[in-house]
Structure 1
């Protein structure tokens, strides 16, 4: 088996040696926790070490199990890397230490584990990829419920969604996968004996996740997933060794679907055969001609596809010039064990002369079994007549020419008979038959050939005037003429049909593409869909109807009408046309299209059905997206409310507690306060009151911005009237540099003052002690820029992107705010036509640039 593919998203570790082979990956796959994966991994490690292999323990989770701890024994353990997260010490695999140690084999438990924040990789399987890239063999473990592709299946079985998953391709790329299996009863006994979880967890585990039904289903998932992986390995082995024969390691039933009425019978028979053996596969194959034109109506093929999928199989379409060879080639490529084919619908004499598809498949199948299924149409000789691709007027013209052309040509040749040879006469009549074929199709051309034969026999073949032929060569010439004329007419007619089908297919594809573009380009509302349909198919009225349940009445949710008809009121299928002109196209169980106007050809209906299906999917996607957006908004609102409650419960109580303490101290008669103490308490009450007032103002402003109740009053004003008032509470910590000759700005003075005050308060909070915050103003084009510079720690680009979101403190540990200041400032600035942008202060720190439009700008 090939070496494992290292995940491309993980760069090789610095310890990797150029030219060294990648390490080999061995995975112990468990059906459930507690089956003994880690123990089996350690058992292999002990066996390898006893054979002289250098084995180390990179990371093994014992979960307090004595047997696992004892099994580690004296294996060398590489110390783990310590990661601190939110004041808690966590240990993770130290990939660099293992690579530096350079063992032959490293044991790494729990492949799907999510690493602690701050680790080099978010997932442990990425750490394993680094070890493999460094040439170290890795033995690891994983449970089936952690495989990404099975996540939803496991949730449906157990009711628990696994947050830690590993991509399937990582496990599939392993050089060896060992299934660690245990019967559900044995695992439950092991759990009850305390060999898996602590005593206080046993009863809850047995009653929930470790129910016998859950364990049986998980065990089956593990076996089926591993069977697929083994099947992939078998296919790869057969490909690498050019093995064309069938290896019946697994039952695969291929059903040859023609698109005829017997297809449903064949598919159901194939499904019953596949059900006899567990793990069998059902594959349906339909062969298209090499010219790409359909041999069966698309609606019929779509119905067969839906039936196959409902039976648990897959539908495949292949292109081939010879149907039996194409079916057998597909079966051999799929490593099929049986081909199910129907008895030919041709009559016995035709089958004897031309053979049959089923007989040819049986001849070519070789080691593959062929199951011949009879059906109602078997050997009936029934073959639907192909509808003519020509218009009625052309067919009528063809039949007229079929008799007029030979008579006219005969009259012309009789006049000039002495100057025309027999071969020329035959060629002229043949040209007439070809011309009739071009105009009217096959059968008028055949009739023309027959009439020409009679004319040639009567007028130009000795003895003339009688339907007898003296010279056998003349008889042969006339017979050959009829056969050639009929053959040429058939070829010309077939070419005309194929050309017509190609034009039709191109028109249908173009129509469907145009309708699809209208949906995918954003015109995906219900009104846009019905309007486009009415325009494209020139229908009098199109309605999109919906119902809430299968038997509920239909209601019109969108409709469109051409100028020749009025759309009518709501209800089902309203319009001016009669019910006889209505066409109903089903989208799904709850939606349908009702079209009134001209009768639709079958081809148009097929396009409509295809478009209806696509439109239904897109509209459903949009509906779900709208729901998801509403859910996201509600989730954000809920998160905001939760954050607000948490913040208010803490940040409002703090100044209130200070005010209460100061007031109680001033009112107390138990302690005599000197003037300095009284002044300090009064100052504390005043400061806390100012803090409380600012918090409440920010909350009110945030609420007004959220509800859209803010109504700014804009006027021309000087920054001299605004900025000093805004920075006055912070005068001891601010250096104000605002020139007197700045132009007037157009804004709401009160709201802009709140913006400046919040920006300055934020800067003062983060500025280091003793270093004032600079507030500068200057003209910049058609606006005035106010810059607030601090020398604090600054912010990286990632945190700058989030700094204007509510409740973002971004490193502020002072506990003196809700994290609403900048969010309120950004909202108020937008309301007054200003903008705020963060910049790095040269030399370190953060600069907030407030741009205000000039008056008259």
Structure 2
């Protein structure tokens, strides 16, 4: 077994895959062609083997009344099902939360494609399984081939029934193991007639419809083929992980190589016929070397046309790059386990093939483990006729003949300049030194004009040197043997150097083009990452696609009803107007490109590209390029597809963020609503009951009550009504603060005045309390909204009174730092429970929801909002000696100046 040197990128990818699998649970899918082949039975047998050394739990098993399956459930721990009601029906579903709480090592979940009941956490059962896997829990599950997303339409056309419950192919492909459970159609029909799959009355109906023998044969072939594809993917991953370079002849994969010649389309059709006869996957590849970058426009269009033909015939297309065409083809064939290679016969024949070689001969000599199919040419006249017939398929840009002529003409004047530069020194330096001047000129031509003109300059320099400098001068004869040898060496060095310089120049040009594409992609990605709405994404995309592909364009997104609609914004210079929404709808329904240059609606003037995300169609990019080559050349096509992926991912990100934000708003609104209702039902119900009881007593027996009793009832009504008024005021105050409609009316005032006014307003509440007041002398003036700051201090004092003993002291003091004014309100109560230091400032939050202290839980939230509106901060911490300490921090402002004239008048 031949091994190659490991690729660092492949090793890094392998490490990442291994690390991801280590953290994620293992998924094993028991895969079958139809119901009744024994998937659940096989899954239970496999689970029994793990019961001896692993914790195994049955999350959900559908036995469908099969006694053999029910017997295998003995000895397993079964999780209870989640019972839900929907439209009068009782539904029993898989209980995901119970499974997460149980956290077994392995859990069995039947019927992966099942759709959960409305109201479940996830819409599909495979999403439940994905959550279990993310937590490191192994899962065994079952799946039928008709439920794969990529096959459900094909299956529907076979069986005549549309399959609605599907599983994404990406989830299926990510499974750690696929166990194919196979049964022949005859055996399956026998089991069906014996009642081992469905009840007798249902079995007869199934035989007439879904379980026809032809259907079962087709489904079995699909299941076998899909499993083979899965096994092939695993084999490729194994080969990459172990750096295996040799070809494994275990399956047919055909690679057809096309180039800038007249055989390209014949090679594609021949490869298609060969792939069809072998039922094999086939790939069309084009290798773009530095030399091929300089092909004329017509040749590049021929290559593009051949690649598009291969795609239309079902091939995968790839554009390879490298300086050696043979090495690039062989490396790709080995990396992808290609077994057969389709090539055109060498174009060079006779002595040219013998001396210069050919790419075909090189590939055959270097890859003895490949099978080769060579295709011969056809008459030149037939090729010309065929090219004339398809000349209207693509717009061919004007040739560059004038440019080529100017390059070769420019290569002639530099040797003349070198001749003139060396002429004054012909008697001073030797002719051999003059040759270095000509060599320098050839290098300049190679750098400026490329290899062809530099070779022409080499021979021109040789002729000029022989005529003007090699004795006898003014003659092409060279009498000195040393000059002859020097001239020949100069020619060889010039030709080799010009070739190397031309190659470096071509590679630099390719690197510049690639760097330009990478920069364009980086700029697009950077701006899309900063986009926060669909409109920003559309504007960014339109601008960048216009700059890179020289195409007017627009992005059509579906409206709320799912219909294609123009963007709801003013068009910009790069926008395309007048889009055919009928074509847009076709592209959205079929997820395939259409329009000019495609096989669908080629008469359209614009190109329509689908924007596809993980959840389906997101929209359509419509573009009208000035030149189709800017879009359909292989490297440009890859760049455009990358652009489309970036746009689709950005649209999904924005939509997901909007949906998440909407859900968060809904959850917060629901939480606030519930908290408000809870507060009203509990804290406002009690005073209402007191008011009703007291007022009822006054109404019924007011005349019989003495003055003290009446006064007591009236006082109770007053107190409870004032409490309700205070709570209602807090709710309204919080609503104002949340809406942002509160404007601060600041004024300069001393802290002593604020504390004094608060003390006066809270006199009744504080009269039975011992308050330790400490105010530092010389406090600065503060610039605040006085009524709002008074509300803050009153709420903090009220909170201190509620949550501290009746005989406990309250400490109130204020002090000034260089940058802020700090006011402390401290009590000696139980303090704040650990972990709730920030939670107590949430709206409607109370440490004890049903405690003896009344209130709706808004006081501290209002305090924090008011202090933050002033640019300050409200903190809380537990005191060492017990109790809570609230700290108001207000930023210091520049003190107002006092007029000196008024100061003099105030002096005694």
Q: TM-score range by the shorter chain?
A: 0.5 to 0.7
Inter-CA distance 826–294: structure 2 relative to 1 (3 Å threshold): farther
> The residue matched to 1:246 in structure 2 has which SS?
coil
Residue 792 (structure 2) aligns with? 755
Q: Contact conserved, 2:38 with 2:181, CA < 8 A, in 1?
A: yes
> The residue matched to 1:751 in structure 2 has which SS?
helix
Residues 1:700 and 2:732 are matched in the alignment: yes
Inter-CA distance 778–832: structure 2 relative to 1 (3 Å threshold): same
Residue 207 (structure 1) aligns with? none
Residues 1:714 and 2:749 are matched in the alignment: no
Residue 652 (structure 1) aligns with? 680
> The residue matched to 2:741 in structure 1 has which SS?
coil
Q: Contact conserved, 2:411 with 2:456, CA < 8 A, in 1?
A: yes
Residue 791 (structure 1) aligns with? 830
C-alpha distance after superposition, 1:35-64 (max 9, x if no partner): 765543443466x59xxx946763234658
> The residue matched to 1:437 in structure 2 has which SS?
helix
Inter-CA distance 166–521: structure 2 relative to 1 (3 Å threshold): closer
TM-score (norm 2): 0.59
Inter-CA distance 329–428: structure 2 relative to 1 (3 Å threshold): same
Residues 1:29 and 2:24 are matched in the alignment: no
Kindly state the Cα deviation for residue 713 of structure 1 after the two structures are TM-superposed. Answer: 0.9
Residue 341 (structure 1) aligns with? 343
Inter-CA distance 529–729: structure 2 relative to 1 (3 Å threshold): farther
Residues 1:327 and 2:329 are matched in the alignment: yes
What pairs with 1:259-408 in structure 2 (closer than 5 Å)?
Answer: 281-283=281-283, 285=285, 287=287, 322-344=324-346, 350-351=352-353, 354-372=356-374, 396=409, 398-400=411-413
Distance 2:607 2:834 in 1: 57
C-alpha distance after superposition, 1:727-773 (max 9, x if no partner): 678659987444245735332122233334555666777x4877969
Inter-CA distance 293–553: structure 2 relative to 1 (3 Å threshold): same
Residues 1:141 and 2:169 are matched in the alignment: no
Worse-matched range after superposition: 621-630 or 215-224 = 215-224
Kindly state the Cα deviation for residue 68 of structure 1 after the two structures are TM-superposed. Answer: 4.7
Distance 1:217 1:763 in 2: 78
Distance 2:683 2:541 in 1: 60
> The residue matched to 2:343 in structure 1 has which SS?
strand
Kindly state the Cα deviation for residue 794 of structure 1 after the two structures are TM-superposed. Answer: 1.8
C-alpha distance after superposition, 1:508-560 (max 9, x if no partner): 566666666665666887999999999x99xxxx9986475999899985569
Q: Name which of 779, 782, 786 aligns with 2:815.
A: 779
C-alpha distance after superposition, 1:95-152 (max 9, x if no partner): 89x9xxxxxxx864349999x9xxxx996557767xxxxxxxx8x5134699xxx999
Q: Contact conserved, 1:254 with 1:339, CA < 8 A, in 2?
A: yes
Residue 598 (structure 2) aligns with? none
What pairs with 1:328-727 in structure 2 (closer than 5 Å)?
Answer: 328-344=330-346, 350-351=352-353, 354-372=356-374, 396=409, 398-400=411-413, 434-440=439-445, 441-445=453-457, 447-448=459-460, 451=463, 455=467, 487-505=492-510, 546=554, 548=556, 557-558=571-572, 590=621, 630-654=658-682, 657-658=685-686, 661-662=689-690, 664-665=692-693, 666-667=695-696, 686=718, 689-690=721-722, 692-717=724-749, 718=751, 719-721=754-756, 723-724=758-759
Q: Which runs of 5+ in 1 are unaligned?
A: 13-23, 82-87, 99-105, 130-137, 203-209, 561-568, 573-583
Q: Contact conserved, 1:546 with 1:556, CA < 8 A, in 2?
A: no
Q: Contact conserved, 2:822 with 2:887, CA < 8 A, in 1?
A: no
Kindly state the Cα deviation for residue 784 of structure 1 after the two structures are TM-superposed. Answer: 1.5
Inter-CA distance 374–688: structure 2 relative to 1 (3 Å threshold): farther
Kindly state the Cα deviation for residue 305 of structure 1 after the two structures are TM-superposed. Answer: 8.7
Kindly state the Cα deviation for residue 711 of structure 1 after the two structures are TM-superposed. Answer: 0.8
Distance 1:187 1:680 in 2: 88
Residue 234 (structure 1) aligns with? 235
Residue 256 (structure 1) aligns with? 257
Give the aligned length. 748
Inter-CA distance 388–800: structure 2 relative to 1 (3 Å threshold): farther
Kindly state the Cα deviation for residue 611 of structure 1 after the two structures are TM-superposed. Answer: 8.8
Distance 1:386 1:753 in 2: 84
> The residue matched to 1:700 in structure 2 has which SS?
helix
Worse-matched range after superposition: 636-645 or 756-765 = 756-765
Q: Name which of 56, 59, 64 aligns with 1:58.
A: 56
Distance 2:809 2:180 in 1: 66
Worse-matched range after superposition: 786-795 or 672-681 = 672-681
> The residue matched to 1:29 in structure 2 has which SS?
strand
TM-score (norm 1): 0.62
Q: Which runs of 5+ in 2 are unaligned?
A: 1-13, 81-94, 122-128, 155-161, 204-210, 388-396, 446-452, 558-563, 579-604, 610-619, 896-908
C-alpha distance after superposition, 1:472-510 (max 9, x if no partner): x99x997x9887665444323323323433554565566
Kindly state the Cα deviation for residue 702 of structure 1 after the two structures are TM-superposed. Answer: 3.7
Residue 864 (structure 2) aligns with? 826
Kindly state the Cα deviation for residue 178 of structure 1 after the two structures are TM-superposed. Answer: 3.0
Q: Contact conserved, 1:56 with 1:78, CA < 8 A, in 2?
A: no
Distance 1:721 1:188 in 2: 94
Q: Name which of 875, 892, 903 aligns with 1:837.
A: 875
Kindly state the Cα deviation for residue 720 of structure 1 after the two structures are TM-superposed. Answer: 0.7
Kindly state the Cα deviation for residue 391 of structure 1 after the two structures are TM-superposed. Answer: 10
Q: Contact conserved, 1:771 with 1:791, CA < 8 A, in 2?
A: no
Q: What RMSD in Å do the two structures reach over aligned CA positions?
A: 7.1
